[in-house]
Amino acid sequence: MLLTTSRKPSQRTRSFCQKFKKALGCPYINRGKMNIQELLQKAREYNEILAIVFEKHGNPSRITFYDTRGQQTGYMTISVAIPKVLEARPTKKIKGPIKNIRLLKSLMPLKEDDGDDFWSVEPAHGKYTMIIELYHKAKPTGFKIFIKRIHLEAEK
């Protein structure tokens, strides 16, 4: 997954992307003045899907995903908790309820696996549908993504 931001991101959004990149072990590029077509070309060069983090009022609020053909595959509306320091190894391992894992795996390059470093998926109540949190050495790191909604594009 190639990660980038919307144009002119806030410091909080850039910080989230840097830590998300570190947590997932995926490439990140500074967007600068690149348009969507140029971003998609970069993603093809990396042979990765493209994930663009958008913001609302200076905070990360949505991640939109595109496949290598440039088709939007879906998005998730989010809120985040970002620790000042993130001590974790990159991981794409995920644990939690199968239904939630399937949704996330349809957008992001995650895999079900055991280990001490993983993303935990928990159902949530209220305005969030689920919460994913990064664990390092089986302990929470404080890096959380609160997911309000996941939307998958219909296959054409």
> Domain extents for the chain?
2-152
Collapsed DSSP state (helix, strand, coil) of residue 133: strand
Q: What is the pLDDT of residue 74?
A: 97
Q: Is 70 exceeded by the pLDDT of residue 155?
A: no
Q: Which residues, including other chains, have CB under 8 Å from residue 120's CB and lie 6 or more apart? A: 94, 95, 96, 132, 133, 134, 135, 140
Question: Which whole number is the average pLDDT over 150-155?
Answer: 86
Residue labelled with tokens 């958008």: 54
Residue range 34-59, pLDDT digits in tens: 999 999 999 999 999 999 999 999 99
Q: What is the pLDDT of residue 68?
A: 87
114 confidence band (pLDDT: 50, 70, 90): confident
Question: What type of residue sits at position 80?
Answer: V
115 confidence band (pLDDT: 50, 70, 90): confident
Q: What is the pLDDT of residue 96?
A: 94
Question: Which whole number is the average pLDDT over 59-65?
Answer: 98
In terms of average pLDDT, the best of 63-67, 98-102, 122-126 is 63-67
Per CATH, the number for 2-152 is 3.40.50.10480
Q: Is 90 exceeded by the pLDDT of residue 156?
A: no
Cα distances (angstroms) measured from residue 52 to each of 5, 60, 77, 84, 97: 5, 10, 12, 22, 26
Q: Which residues, including other chains, have CB under 8 Å from residue 30's CB and lie 6 or more apart? A: 4
Average pLDDT, the chain: 94
Question: Which whole number is the average pLDDT over 141-155?
Answer: 92
